[in-house]
A = this chain, B = another copy of it.
Amino acid sequence: MTGTRERLITATNELFRRHGFNGTSLKQITTAAGAPTGSLYHFFPGGKTDLAEAVITSSGAAYQQLFELIADEAIGPATAVTDFFEGAAEVLEQTDFIDICPIGTVAREVANTNDVLRQATDRVFANWIEAGAAHFVSAGLSQPDANELATTLVAALEGGFLLARARRDAEPLRTAGRHIRRLVDATLDTVRTT
């Protein structure tokens, strides 16, 4: 039996994927985690916001780690992009199109109502972009170009999740991945010939 704190975060993470922030109740969370309300408020005195912040931060770090793993195994940044989008598409199909990324859903729900969570989602996205940009820089891109490319990559990824889930078809995600790959290839070519 893992710690109660971890169980609460894991359960909340999974519920957020299906129902989002406002669609998930603390009752659902405590039931799924097998933890009483008292424990929830013991580990997360700030209540639902506090717990959600922990979920966003830990989930963001986990995806970043996954991306680094895939990027390290790939031949170059271009194939890393394809691998990452392809992997996401497969997970989506295998899980009956349950949201892969709870952060994107929560981000749009709370951006205008809960500034603590808005900032938490912002930090996660900024970290992802920074991590992606670092790989592009080491492939020869300038820092500004790398940042912009990574920004569009994350945007296309999150937008791809949106379309794929609405359609219940992972194809939009693969399509976006292919286009981002073309964009990466084209930008790297520019550098090589200069």
Contacts and interface: CB of A to CB of B under 8 A. Distances in A.
Interface stretch (A27-35, A63-71, A179-187): A179-187
A119 to B, nearest CB: 8
B162 A176 contact: no
Interface residues of A, number: 50
B125 A163 contact: yes
A12 interface: no
A113 B158 contact: no
A105 B180 CA distance: 23
Nearest to A165: B111
Interface stretch (A18-26, A39-47, A75-83, A134-142): A18-26
A155 B163 contact: yes
B152 A176 contact: yes
Contact of A167 (B122, B149, B163): B122
Contact of A109 (B20, B151, B157, B175): B20
B111 A109 contact: no
Contacts of A132: none
B179 A152 contact: yes
Of A108, A168, A172, A186, most B-chain CB atoms within 10 Å: A108
Interface of A: 17-23, 97-99, 104-105, 107-109, 111-113, 118, 121-122, 125-126, 148-149, 151-152, 154-163, 165-168, 172, 175-176, 178-180, 182-183, 186
